[in-house]
Amino acid sequence: MVSEIKIPKLNIKYDCELPNKQLVLVGGGRQPSKAWLQEAVKGRTLWCIDHGVDICHELGLVPERLLGDFDSCNNASLQWAKGHGTIIEEFDTHKDFTDTQAALRLAREKNAFCILTGALGKRFDHTYSTIFSFGNSLVKGCIADERETICFIRDGESLTITPQTSPKAISLLPITPRVAGVSTRGLHWELNMSELTQVNPYAISNIIADDGDSNSFTISINNGTLAIYLCWEE
């Protein structure tokens, strides 16, 4: 049974069984550092989403699959992927879903745990769409790079996060309009069976408690979908 995921900067332990298949999805947002990405893909299957193939081309990391309408990636990277046997899934530019949404749907069909990177730090509308799409996709996984990580838990789930270095901020962000029964352990400002709502997202900028030897903290919920945000570098 897989219940613990290790990615650069932190370990994430879930209270439930996770899919054995693990994917790294590289999108077209702010690109992760080369060192972070090279570490993250070790032992995992690599997929690229449109412009995300450019950084993989630069590093010589051949993706198993490349999805997108290819309106932003370099043609040289696209041809490189084709030449190395990458499965190509091309979409019409005029579509009613994003390339990232398509990748998440396919990952769900494949029953995979997903680490989505290259997904933050550029246009706000893209970031907004990506976070809510991931949170509502039912895909187990996280959005991450060396600066920020977002994990998701849903009805009745809990997870324990052990960062290698303490983040500057830890925030709890409701993905559903209401998240009930939110409890924390190991944070400076704790919650006990609290309710968080999108109309009053106050549970932000927390930190790890400094009264113990552990650098771990645990979040659990009863109902809803919650995003757990960690920031090391703004």
Phi, psi of 97 (to 5 degrees): -150, 160
Q: What does the pLDDT read at residue 2? A: 63
How much of the chain, in percent, has pLDDT values that exceed 70? 98
At residue 1, does pLDDT exceed 80?
no
Host H or E run for residue 150? strand 148-154
- At residue 72, the pLDDT reads 79
| pTM: predicted TM-score of the whole model, two decimal places | 0.92
**DSSP 8-state secondary structure symbol assigned to residue 212:** S
Task: Tell me the domains of the chain and their CATH numbers.
Answer: 15-145 (3.40.50.10240), 147-234 (2.60.120.320)
Tens digit of pLDDT for each residue in 155-209? 999 999 999 999 999 999 999 999 999 999 999 999 999 999 999 999 999 999 9
Compute the average pLDDT of residues 131-136: 96
| pLDDT tens sequence across 74-92 | 899 999 999 999 999 888 7
pLDDT band at 28 (very low <50, low <70, confident <90, very high): confident
Confidence of residue 94 (pLDDT cuts 50, 70, 90): confident
User: Is pLDDT of 14 > 80?
Assistant: yes
- Tokens 């997870």 sit on residue: 159
Question: Among 86-95, 99-108, 122-131, 185-194, where is mean pLDDT lowest?
Answer: 86-95
